[in-house]
Structure 1
Amino acid sequence: MTEPTTVPVTEAGPARQVVERYFSAINAHRFAELGEVFAPEAEIHTVGRAPALGRAEALAHFPTVLAGYAEHHDAVTRWIETEDAVVCEIHFTGRLRDGRPIVFDAVDLFDVRDGRIAKVSTWYDTRALARQIRG
């Protein structure tokens, strides 16, 4: 019988570190801090929405998208990272303003350049989310 192989745990690389700061800011409603992680030419692509282009639109995106939630939390359940890209599986939990719970899974893809997020693409089942919102 062969011994199991252990994979050494490594520290998060620079790309992942900036994405961790992104999630920390969003989960804490510290949207102004996102200005520190987004590149000036940042792009946010969310399924079912028009892209947010440029840092100003990126910063305005989150308060608008999350306005209907009384609470929300993006929990990263899996990280895949390269030198300039990070893929995250997300488990989103939250409550609408009327108190109803919302739960869904998503995948976020990040392109990182010069230590800042240049592009985020977010993918999730829009139909399943719409059913929860409609009730």
Structure 2
Amino acid sequence: MSNFKFLFFTAIKPAMIKLIGSAYFLFLLTPFLLGQSLSQTAKVSWGAELREPSNSTLTKVIAKTSDGLYALRLKQSTTLEGFKAYVERFDEKMNLERSEELELKYNGKVRKFEDVIRLGGQFYLLTSFHNQVQKKNYLLSK
């Protein structure tokens, strides 16, 4: 069987190897070329300059709607609790409409903020809690 493989590869001429290599290259290049034809032009809309509260940062856009967007703001807490998290609603001109602090305490314990996601039109707050007695970490959603 090994003699057959050796004979097969010696029977391929260098011109055939170039042809196969070129065809393989074009095959790999095709998705990249077609992907460019499906791209859309970006639309950027600038609003007024945003004055951020001190020690805070907009960290991510949670969701984009037809009339604005929801963003996540994290603020460094002055206590040992870590971060305070806020969901902020901006209109289409990037004017702040609403800001709501997310409650990170549960039964008197502080949970660690992980993320906020929007799924099916609903917001989900993901937090974690380390139970020192059971030596387990829990991921909680609200």
Task: Using CA pairs under 8 Å that are at least 6 residues apart, name the structure with larger relative contact order, 1 or 2.
Answer: 1
> More helix per residue: 1 or 2?
1
Q: Which TM-score applies when normalising by structure 2? A: 0.36
Structure index of larger Rg: 2
Give the structure-1-normalised TM-score. 0.37
